[in-house]
Amino acid sequence: MYSHKVTISVVIPHLNGVPHAEETLALCLKSLDYRVDEIIVERNDGIGFAAAVNLGMAKSTSDYIIVANNDTKLIKGNLFKLCKGAEFITVPKIHPEPRDNNPRSFYCVPDPVYQKILKHYGYFLDERFGAGYFEDDDLILRLKELNIPVVYEPSIVVDHLNGGGLTMKHVGEQKWFDINKKVFEDKWKIK
């Protein structure tokens, strides 16, 4: 645990030119109405979701990094509850119905955990997953490899306003799902 006041960064990957993207980003930013030390909105135009998250996280100077999709809205709970220990923490969402406790749209990474992942793999999210899909499943498996616990924090709830589909529908949802499913299965030797 930190002996000083903890600092918090929020990294939000954001794709320009998608219908309603600016409106949902504004809702996301407004929902983060408590004081955080820095908000990093990383444009993901042409570089992909994972690359935008990686660039934003590399700019962070805080003890904790919260990653939030640009179409998420914090609806219940205090962000500071996420910043309480040395675990990777994810939160529930009310929309769409969560399929598991894995980080799909909103999670917190303590800087030492982030540094451990970088040191071992050279990246936080694998950029081979391009526009999106399966980069979070890959992250969970890598966290397990490193024996980093994933903690589910039910007192904080987010609404994934477009169910993750805002950007993906714009860039070819089924195409990226199929491509990245194969990348994931090949990487983890899943048949």
What 8-state DSSP symbol labels residue 191?
Answer: -
Terminal Cα distance for the chain, rounded = 41
Cα separation, 32 vs 129, in Å, equals: 28
Beta bridge partners of residue 159, listed in sequence order: 73
Confidence of residue 96 (pLDDT cuts 50, 70, 90): low
Q: Which residue has the tokens 């990474």?
A: 109
pLDDT confidence of residue 166: 53
**Mean per-residue pLDDT for 164-184?**
76
Crossing angle (nearest 10°) for helices 135-145 and 111-121? 90
**Mean per-residue pLDDT for 89-101?**
69
Q: How many of the other CB atoms lie within 10 Å of CB of 29?
A: 16
Cα separation, 110 vs 125, in Å, equals: 15
Instruction: Determine whether domain 8-187 maps to CATH 3.90.550.10.
Output: yes
The pTM for the full model equals 0.90
Domain ranges in the chain are 8-187
Least confident of 97-101, 123-127, 130-134, 159-163: 97-101
pLDDT confidence of residue 105: 80
Confidence of residue 174 (pLDDT cuts 50, 70, 90): confident
Cα separation, 67 vs 108, in Å, equals: 6
pLDDT confidence of residue 81: 82
From the list 58, 73, 160, 176, the residue with the least C-alpha distance to 109 is 58
- Between 118 and 15, the more confident residue is 118
Confidence of residue 158 (pLDDT cuts 50, 70, 90): confident
Is the confidence at residue 99, as pLDDT, over 70?
no
Confidence of residue 91 (pLDDT cuts 50, 70, 90): confident
- Between 19 and 136, the more confident residue is 136
